[in-house]
Chains A and B, each alone.
Chain A
């Protein structure tokens, strides 16, 4: 078993998968704590469905190789709509449900009505469940993960006090003169970028796990914001590495294996948290 693992760890595509996996898990966990505390746990799921719809559009328009030109702007605009626009008639969770189901339906419909790709089932399988896309990443996608993790880390370092204030009491932050709209805009853009890239890791249906599991697990055993943030990063990276290696050795799907490892970590943290209390 160890021999096999050491052999696989010499494969360049396994190293690329581990690299991108760790970076995306790190970025998603940093963002996840903020999103969970702001009651936007399901935004990952919603935005990934929107990204799926946008991806279908790129297939129909015949720009598969530059699909990010379509996916990223549409997902960013949707994230802005969800995080910034405060509708009186449609609340945040209802807005996520509305946009995500509509986008998923549009995406699937487009793929069926205009089946431009000969291998539609492969495209659907890959974008919804991740399939083996994690193991077939290009160097460009890994570089995108590097840039994204730098952006998320930079945001957390330079905007930490403001993000903290907006996360816990946005109205109070606004009254004190803080430009909360700008913070929300930055959060929306970064959230959309993380979701689009994380689709490569676990697929759009499992993306919420990357965002919420590490944050929820850390919250079971840590109480301060800073410690939750750091514990969340640690658990997220450990869970992703363990899930990826298990899936490679056991021949199980990458996305669902990572999510099940996260579930195991959460249950462990939950039990530890009970004894802590």
Chain B
């Protein structure tokens, strides 16, 4: 079943596989693309995605904001307003996965023409992702957010 003549062959095969995989990985880690949803007016139209993909995209926007800066998005989720000190209120859209056990939120700055919805309202929002300063630090937010209560 086994003899030592197999070893050099195994080494070559495994080294070849490992080299291909590592090359692919470096591409994967350094990959930054500018995808555009060809079926929508927005760069990311979350309303046409599955719930897990919506949650994953939202979590990635918050964890890797540099990859999503200046992109336009359309998303549906739950509206929340919460106090952020000095009579200031921060607004956000929360998006959950299929089972509803994981949620992630994107802060929003509402467009002047749009009214603040009730807390917990199901909304659809569209806007552009920009850095905004909150409490002395840069945070990605959905600027000029146009909210529609579903």
Interface residues of A (CB under 8 A from B): 3, 7-8, 10-13, 15-16, 18-20, 22-23, 26, 119, 121-122, 124-126, 131-132, 135-136, 138-139, 142-143, 145-146, 149-150, 153, 156-157, 160-161, 164, 223-226, 229-230, 233, 247-248, 250-251, 253-254
Task: Judge whether A226 and B10 touch: CB under 8 Å.
Answer: yes
Partner of A11, one of B52, B55, B57, B59: B57
Judged by DSSP, the binding face of B is helix
Q: Which of B37-78 contact A (CB under 8 A)?
A: 37-39, 50-53, 55-57, 59-60, 63-64, 67
Task: Judge whether A156 and B22 touch: CB under 8 Å.
Answer: no
- Interface residue stretch chosen among B12-20, B129-137, B141-149: B12-20
A6 CA / B13 CA spacing, docked (Å): 30
Task: Judge whether B24 and A160 touch: CB under 8 Å.
Answer: no
- The chain A residue sitting closest to B48, CB to CB, is A4
A20 CA / B6 CA spacing, docked (Å): 29
Interface residues of B (CB under 8 A from A): 1-2, 4, 6-7, 9-11, 13-15, 17-18, 21-22, 24-29, 31-33, 35, 37-39, 50-53, 55-57, 59-60, 63-64, 67, 97-99, 101-103
B99 to chain A, nearest CB (A): 7
Given contacts A13-B57, A23-B21, contact A153 B29 (CB under 8 A): no
A19 CA / B23 CA spacing, docked (Å): 10
Task: Judge whether A3 and B39 touch: CB under 8 Å.
Answer: yes
Partner of B52, one of A18, A126, A132, A230: A132
Partner of B101, one of A18, A121, A142, A233: A121
Task: Judge whether B97 and A145 touch: CB under 8 Å.
Answer: no
Partner of A12, one of B10, B51, B53, B64: B64
Task: Judge whether B37 and A16 touch: CB under 8 Å.
Answer: no
